[in-house]
Amino acid sequence: MQFNAAQIAMLINGKPEGDTAVSVASFGKIEEACEGQLSFLANPKYEEYLYTTKASVIIINESLELKQKVTATLIRVPDAYTAFATLLAKYQEMATQQLTGIQQPSYIDATASLGENIFIGAFAYLGEKVIIGNNVKIFQGVVLGNNVQIGDNSILHAGVTIYFDCLIGKNVTLHAGTVIGSDGFGYAPQPDGGFKKVPQIGNVVVEDFVEIGANTTIDRATMGSTIIRTGAKLDNLIQIAHNVEIGTNTVIAAQAGISGSTKVGKNVMIGGQVGTAGHISIADGSKIAGQSGVTKSVKEPNRSINGTPAADFSSSLRIQAMTRNLPDLEKRVKELEKMVEQLLSERVND
């Protein structure tokens, strides 16, 4: 697909500078782009490449003041990174819209309801009373259990598995290997030392505009629902346990684990490899640094926390600094002890 600079500017509400007729057919990083490609500059660290790149069109911040002449056509926008993301999304949307029809072999139960303009890839399985909205794209090897519902414009990439009764909203993207609705980790200790499985009879509800990365697992509730609220973004390889609630527009990086019945507020940012205890709450706007262990509820909103057990970010950094100094402090304490012993000895001798 080819677009000229004028068309691109219109798509992202930008102001073009230069030849608006120049066309691009692909994307490239500003330091590597060649003629016929579109790039962007958002990070000032890469500004030097603005003056040497071969890209034909470059999206830049409207506030950027040029230090040299630029050969490429520029498109100025308030936020280059956001504008570039919007453009990529439109490009991807146009590419996926071309996919329609049902590939064979695949299995679709007679009771399933299919919307308009859908795509179902080969080896997909759709169980009883599955409901698929309009413009849904289901790629190869996807498995949908009985009574699953998928909202309009959602995309399920290869190998996604959604267990029975789970509900997926509109404009949701589930990446390859994601498992929605597997059993929560519930076992009752027995007198003989064994464990009796507690049936997990709830479901998972994923609301609109959620994106979930590859090989992430979200457990169904013991009773009720595990809920991923509107606009949440989950990275690859995340474990969400039973009866967890992830708030609106919360983002979670890879390898994090949220234990059962934890309630995460809206606009929370959780770094990679963070772990939480179960049955706690995390206040709106919290920022949790990577590899932190959250052992108790975070009640004050908009706090930044770090460490294990997680504490206020600045306090945690001071603790880490003190910990690094422990060998030196130990040495000084021992020297002081020797000095005190010597003084006491001298005092006794006197």
Q: What are phi and psi of 333, to 5 degrees?
A: -60, -45
Of 157, 175, 242, 279, the catalytic one is 242
Query: 160-309 falls under which CATH superfamily?
Result: Hexapeptide repeat proteins (2.160.10.10)
CATH T-level fold of 3-97? 3.40.1390
Please state, in angstroms and rounded to a whole number, the distance separating the CA atoms of residues 291 and 287.
12
Tell me, yes or no, if 242 is annotated catalytic: yes
Q: Tens-digit pLDDT profile for the chain (350 aa)?
A: 688 999 999 999 999 999 999 999 999 999 999 999 999 999 999 999 999 999 999 999 999 999 999 999 999 999 999 999 998 888 877 777 778 999 999 999 999 999 999 999 999 999 999 999 999 999 999 999 999 999 999 999 999 999 999 999 999 999 999 999 999 999 999 999 999 999 999 999 999 999 999 999 999 999 999 999 999 999 999 999 999 999 999 999 999 999 999 999 999 999 999 999 999 999 999 999 999 999 999 999 999 999 888 877 777 677 777 778 888 888 888 888 888 888 888 777 66
Task: Indicate the angle between helix axes 313-324 and 326-349, nearest 10 degrees.
Answer: 60
Q: Domain extents for the chain? A: 3-97, 160-309
- Scanning the structure block, which residue is given the tokens 């600094």? 321
Give this prediction's pTM: 0.81
